[in-house]
Structure 1
């Protein structure tokens, strides 16, 4: 498993989506394969503990592009699309789902997170599935008999697919219309190189694993399908359904989920990241650094397993107790992991010598402890007691305040507990304000790729 430098892969991961503070997020997924269609799993995960908050399937025909918008609907995120490509369920114009969010998080846990996009299998010309999903005069037929059959449970389409190949590319645009700013972010693309990737189709159905088929096989829960221990009856004990597969750890040409996870860790691991920052008050500049960790989910340990007697009859909830491996030392109570101190420079090569002069706002005493919070950790620069000036984040953001307004920063992404580099993707969002445009002025959003 390697990161595709051309941005086209079998798997795409969008590092961040948000509907906080007036933002909406536009999603685009393109199939650059001009011959084969793709059966694609799309899963939105929350920023705090990467709980599944919305997932579905999209069937892309050759050279097809699927688009949607994620907006705020009351207290939760909602997906809206008028795209003509086929999906399961037939309509995905729905609010995000809070069933797997703890009560304390239900009101806000869907509003920020990241997105997994997985090619489950190629759809070859001439097959019934290809005919059912191939656009005709700009509209895909989405033939019910092929996709769903005669019942309410979708058909097992695995035999209609061939081995998934590369071809997916995606991006997200975080846009705030009222503040006239936008940030466009490409997905990280991953490819499995040197081996044949088997079809990894699982029906979009609420049938439990072990009693219904996973593709053409009917296995009980095993590490060969996922490394997410929340579904293990000995640990998290949350009920696992067919729609939970595949995930990023589902074997994608490797022997088992542990091997898949190890490959992802190697491909995405970074000891630190470097980015420029701008916080000059004269232009109201603000900088937020997004550090998304799409494999952290698989290192959790669990407590407070589903309490059926207490009302969790569907066995949907389990609480994170801590983590192992590269995430050993995670403080589950605060959702924080300690990392090394940042190194700040101004634009003239001056360096912050004493890390204690860099504060986690609004602490005036300084600190020698630096952490990353949540699955999607946001580090705001010099934004004070109200972190996140560029993106308006709320769930997992903290502010690093330094003496320099603009410059270069190296942020540690190494777990201090065991010196492990963390699997991180992301970007830097910089916003500046020009007061000379019109009567009210205007914002400009910039996106900087992380370097390491």
Structure 2
């Protein structure tokens, strides 16, 4: 039997074994989906130079999309601004997030010159300020009331529906480059709509103009969330990743096996496709180029879970020759005394390669980085939920570059699917039915690396010699079956 025939028979066998509908929530490797997670934004100021964040979403289809866009802050994932964006076929929507002024406690504001239809309207002037209403007063979560909380976080975008009929016509661009009748869409409680079909993609750019730094990333894309429209006006906090219309089935590929799991809710399905036991990356801490490395980890499902004190993890690192060590003061890999907690929705950790060190040393995203793990003890984020950036000392001797990994323990980070779940072995064609246990955190993240050469002589002129790059974290999964 030739390989092509075998693959066709295997596909038929797998399809016939699936009693439930084929739709299942999944991560899309090509970056196209029904929902996007932009893992981080910042408008913080580092050494007098401010970061801005540019965000985009593209409708790569010939249909009109109705999206819910939630801008969430980093400590507890509270929504600071919600927008309904109506994207015409092949439309691109772009916004910029900047600090409202030079004060550390100022709010983030959103700017856009984009003509795409949105609710509320988002004109270029005046800009729209992020609000602290979701975490102050009756909504207080005890983690701070200041507008400083709006200065970093992440963004979720969810396709609520494909617009049809008169609603689609209202969002379609006219010959003058503006929507035909945006007013008919703003505030409407009911629109003519069909199920979401996917095909949206997005990017983010963290840019520091004064320092000459620019970091770009693609948004994480979730596909096949729903076959039901679930449009709501922007004044309604619904929907999110806890929407009842999200299919409670997930599919994850690990090696030669495909895990198709059934859950009691769509939120669990989204959690399953993002569940990671271990996150891995590289660091560069070269003294000659004043290089720094930051790791950013975001937990996008935390706002939909019960409040907790955090999730324990341990950290391991190796130099470029593969000689392994654990972050001081640990005595061995994953030693309990090195355990820390992801106690924020979005966390920034700066790596430090050795002496000299001060609390004002510059990381990539911060100039004041909070607690430091040293040989005399210490720990992460003390008190919990308030420190936004933490520094990890990788030993007393400088470590120029190498690799690292963080790993979460099973306690409190295990979820088991329904017994109708299935595992498909794509090599043998064997299909096994039974519950699946996922260990890990629904997490996304990346590293940022800088090389700061300052001002350089370029012939008779002076030019800036700062560079930066961004790299998605690599992940390992832990899924157990009977």
TM-score, normalised by the number of residues in structure 1: 0.75
Tell me the equivalent position of 1:40. 67
Structure 1 position 98, deviation (Å): 1.0
| Aligned residues of 2:59 and 2:200 also touching (Cα < 8 A) | yes
- Partner Cα separation in structure 2 for residue 179 and residue 354 of structure 1: 30
1:350 to 323, 326, 330: 323
- Alignment RMSD (CA, Å): 2.5
Tell me the equivalent position of 1:231. none
- Partner Cα separation in structure 2 for residue 67 and residue 110 of structure 1: 19
Query: Secondary structure at 2:317's aligned position in 1?
Result: strand
Cα shift readout 1:54-96 (whole Å, capped 9, x = no counterpart): 1111110011101110000130000010101101112363101
Where structure 1 has 5 or more consecutive residues not aligned to the other structure, the ranges are 149-153, 206-241, 302-322, 324-329, 331-335, 360-365
| Aligned residues of 1:60 and 1:85 also touching (Cα < 8 A) | yes
Tell me the equivalent position of 2:299. 293
Q: 1:183-198 to 2 correspondence within 5 Å?
A: 183-192=215-224, 197-198=227-228
Structure 1 position 429 matched with structure 2 position 462? no
Quickly say closer, same or farther: Cα 1:435–1:76, change in 2 above 3 A. Answer: closer
Structure with the greater alpha carbon radius of gyration = 2
1:7 to 12, 27, 31: 31
Where structure 2 has 5 or more consecutive residues not aligned to the other structure, the ranges are 1-24, 250-262, 370-386, 415-438, 476-482
Structure 1 position 397, deviation (Å): 1.7
1:165 to 184, 190, 197: 197
Quickly say closer, same or farther: Cα 1:337–1:354, change in 2 above 3 A. Answer: closer
Number of equivalences:
365
Cα shift readout 1:349-405 (whole Å, capped 9, x = no counterpart): 11116862589xxxxxx9523222300012211175347611228752211111323
Tell me the equivalent position of 1:131. 169
Structure 1 position 281, deviation (Å): 1.3
| Aligned residues of 1:278 and 1:406 also touching (Cα < 8 A) | yes
Tell me the equivalent position of 1:411. 406
Tell me the equivalent position of 1:399. 391
- Partner Cα separation in structure 2 for residue 353 and residue 177 of structure 1: 36
1:143 to 181, 200, 221: 181
Quickly say closer, same or farther: Cα 1:273–1:70, change in 2 above 3 A. Answer: same
Cα shift readout 1:219-265 (whole Å, capped 9, x = no counterpart): xxxxxxxxxxxxxxxxxxxxxxx1x1111221344269951111111
Quickly say closer, same or farther: Cα 1:155–1:266, change in 2 above 3 A. Answer: same
Structure 1 position 300, deviation (Å): 2.1
- Partner Cα separation in structure 2 for residue 432 and residue 138 of structure 1: 45
> Whose strand proportion is higher, 1 or 2?
2
Structure 1 position 114 matched with structure 2 position 154? yes
TM-score, normalised by the number of residues in structure 2: 0.71
Cα shift readout 1:2-31 (whole Å, capped 9, x = no counterpart): 100000000000000000011000011100
Q: Which moved more, 1:115-124 or 1:384-393?
A: 384-393
| Aligned residues of 2:294 and 2:363 also touching (Cα < 8 A) | yes
1:374 to 324, 328, 344: 344
Structure 1 position 145, deviation (Å): 5.3
- Partner Cα separation in structure 1 for residue 51 and residue 443 of structure 2: 24
